[in-house]
Amino acid sequence: MTRRRTLVLTGLLAVAVVGGTPTAAPAGAAPAHTLELRPVLAEVPGPLVSRAPTAGEAAAIASCDPTRVQALTPVPVTSRASITAAACAVLPFAPRQGRGALYVGPSRLTARDVKSARAAFAQGQGNTVIFDLTRKGLTKFNRLARDSYAQAAPRNEVAITVDGAVVSNPVFESASFEGPVQISGNFSKKDAKAVAGKINQARRSAG
């Protein structure tokens, strides 16, 4: 099971990341990057398989019913090309975070809800990525926090994904937040800059 922790720091949502480098886009993939925040429906420890799902597997994943997905053996991971913002998906963790995946609900925030992202060093946190939300983005984020807070684990978590891979799954420790979102953890300086760069590219691509 992936370890995670959430801290609230002076108006920031601080997210501890196990690992740090998001999954690189495969060769030949479109250069645009994606950012999504999705509610967590269930943990999927495996076994996992990277192939197109059968009709029955696809129906189970589309149902947004955790019991149906957890009954699958193995569980097909949703490919980046098949991810749809309005649909549930099985998304893998980023490299170095261990095996497993999360079954997540439809996207609640995207790059359109972000004003900017930057890499920064925070005392006691190390290298971090901070992104500022738009006014609508913060409203959406707090709606997600309200819906998830006090739910039984892991439904009290939010999956932060970059390019279809989960870079963090923090627990909501409050039903309301103010200020930017700060992702912290085992980032190198290079990793933090890379993630911030992908978020900004996703924001520009989204218009």
Q: List domains and CATH numbers for the chain.
A: 6-22+33-45+85-206 (3.30.1360.200)
pLDDT at position 201: 85
Radius of gyration over every alpha carbon of the chain, rounded to an integer in angstroms: 16
Residue 53 is encoded by which pair of tokens? Answer: 């799902």
- Sign of the Cα pseudo-torsion (125, 130, 164, 187, in order): negative
**Contact call for residues 91 and 75 (beta carbons, < 8 A):** no
DSSP class of residue 106?
S
Return d(Cα 112, Cα 169) in angstroms, integer: 20
**Contact call for residues 157 and 105 (beta carbons, < 8 A):** no
Return d(Cα 193, Cα 180) in angstroms, integer: 17
pLDDT at position 103: 98
Report the chain (207 residues): mean pLDDT per 10 consecutive residues: 37 45 42 85 92 97 97 95 96 75 97 93 87 93 94 93 85 85 78 86 82
- Rounded to two decimals, the pTM is 0.80
Return the exposure string of 55-71: e unless at least 16 CB atoms fall within 10 Å of the residue's CB, then b.
eebeebbeebbbebbbe
